[in-house]
Amino acid sequence: MESYEITVMSAGNTFLCGHEQSVLDAMVKAGFGPFHYGCYGGGCGVCKIRVRSGSYHVFKNMSKAHITGGLDKDIVLSCCIQPRGPLVIEAVSPGHRALYPSFRLQSEPHSQ
């Protein structure tokens, strides 16, 4: 099966993604790319990226809470797309960070 080169826009570096592989899976295995990830199911919206160029196949339903198409039709969930040619992608900022009352959550390191 074919693999395609995925270029990360700001960095210029690339990684390979297989025809039957999700872009997120390839990013994580390459250890490189604008990846945040969560549910791997198209539901949580955390793995959002923008595809600047190239064609891809959407193999999983993407939650419309996060992907609306229309003017933002090049914003997709990286866990739900497989490449059908070389792609150029870039990060989309998550925007969900400021939803908690601000206080320190991290507890002290466990080992004592």
Residues forming the site for another protein (CB under 8 A): 38-44, 46, 60-66, 94, 96-101, 103-110
State the nearest-atom distance from the C-beta of 60 to another protein, in Å: 8
Cβ burial of 63 (10 Å; 0-12, 13-18, 19+) is middle
Whose Cβ is closer to another protein: residue 53's or residue 61's? 61
Whose Cβ is closer to another protein: residue 7's or residue 44's? 44
| Angle of CA points 43, 69, 27, to nearest 5° | 55
Whose Cβ is closer to another protein: residue 12's or residue 109's? 109
